[in-house]
Amino acid sequence: MAKKPQGFGFGMGKMKELADAFKKAQQVQEGAKKLQEELDELEVEGTAGGGLVKVVLSGNQEPRRVEISPDAMGEGAEVVSEMVAEAMKTAYTNSTTTMREKMEELTGGLNLPGM
């Protein structure tokens, strides 16, 4: 009895699955480029001191601006410095959360390690 050639073990169904996976990966790559541009345009805020200090970052954590209310200036340099640091941390957390949520939307349905 002659053995059938084994080949790579891909049946037609497996080839279609592989082709679909490549197509989905290409769509994700194109979506990631668009998402990068979208995040560059996005502004994410962090505030402290009840709004006396506001830090604005892009969706990619690039600093955009710091706004300090004149009312904050009476608090002293140390307190203002602490408020700026707190607002920066909040803006960073908000930005990374936004980025993670948008990446999950983009890669929905894929089991990508680390996502």
Instruction: Assign residue 70 the CATH number of its domain.
Output: 3.30.1310.10
- pLDDT 10s digits, 11-49: 566 777 888 778 877 877 888 888 888 888 999 999 999
Which pTM does this prediction carry?
Answer: 0.67
Using CA atoms, how far residue 65 sits from 55, 88, 108, 115, in Å, is 6, 10, 33, 30
Helices (H), the chain: 12-41, 77-106
Residues 6+ apart with CB under 8 A from 96: 61
Greatest CA span in the chain, whole angstroms? 94
Whether 96 is in a domain gets the answer yes
Whether 5 is in a domain gets the answer no
- pLDDT 10s digits, 4-13: 555 555 556 6
pLDDT tops 60 at residue 3 = no
Whether 22 is in a domain gets the answer no
Q: How much is the pLDDT for 39?
A: 86
